[in-house]
Amino acid sequence: MRIGVIDYGMGNLFSVEQALKRLDAEVVVTSDEKELRTADALVLPGVGAFPDAMKRLEETGLIDFIRNNNKPLLGICLGMQLMFEESEEVTPTTGLGIFKGSIKRFTDVSRIPHMGWNELELAHLPAWLEGKSLPNDRHVYFVHSFYAANMADEELVASADYEGVRVPGIIASGNFTGMQFHPEKSGEFGVFLLREWLKGVEV
């Protein structure tokens, strides 16, 4: 299985690459569209500010490629947020528009960023988790100051509670999946989710 990690200059590429390799995936890290088209599935990582990331994606010419991609694609952290319609981070910015909703800054909470372990509550199972025996411990590791709001309920797979704020943790629509947390840094459950997503690619 060949996984293309989209390199647009703003990703936690090493940790994602190593996590995929530990799960026996062949990994290519590139911004070259031709190389990415040879992959069985794609990963869109991301660390940093939303406007900077969209600018870098535009500079690499990958926006239309991502939007029109029909292979399984997993967005992680900022990579997930980029797939929403818009963000208010720094300055109002249009996103990829794959998922409905917008990226908002946390308000009325005691600490920003939201950082630490939270339990995921499943709303429904995506195809790649159907029929699977899920671990009892479903805690994952979050580090973020902005979260997805006003999203479509049917696209919400799992969420976590942060001081009364429902934080979308996993979202899915068609061949696109997003994880707000870092699965490669989220212990056994994070590895489980990443492994099952990869198995879903093979089906």
Backbone angles phi, psi at 202, to 5 degrees: -75, -20
pLDDT, tens digit (0-9, with 9 covering 90-100), for 45-60: 989 999 999 999 999 9
| Distance from C-alpha of 174 to C-alpha of 144, rounded to nearest angstrom | 25
User: The domain containing residue 89 runs over which residues?
Assistant: 2-202
What's the pLDDT tens digit per position in 103-119? 999 999 999 999 999 99
86-87 and 93-94 as β-strands: parallel, antiparallel, unpaired? antiparallel
Q: Write out the catalytic residue numbers.
A: 77, 182, 184
Mean pLDDT across the chain = 95
Model-wide pTM > 0.85: yes
Q: What CA–CA distance (Å, rounded) separates 192 from 102?
A: 28
Distance CA 95, CA 121 (A): 26
Q: What CATH number is attached to the domain comprising 85?
A: 3.40.50.880
- Per-residue pLDDT at 17 exceeds 90: yes
Number of domains in the chain: 1
pLDDT above 70: residue 155: yes
- Could you read off the pLDDT of 180-198 as tens digits, one per residue? 999 999 999 999 999 999 9
203: confidence class by pLDDT, cuts 50, 70, 90: low
Cα 130 from Cα 4, distance rounded (Å): 25
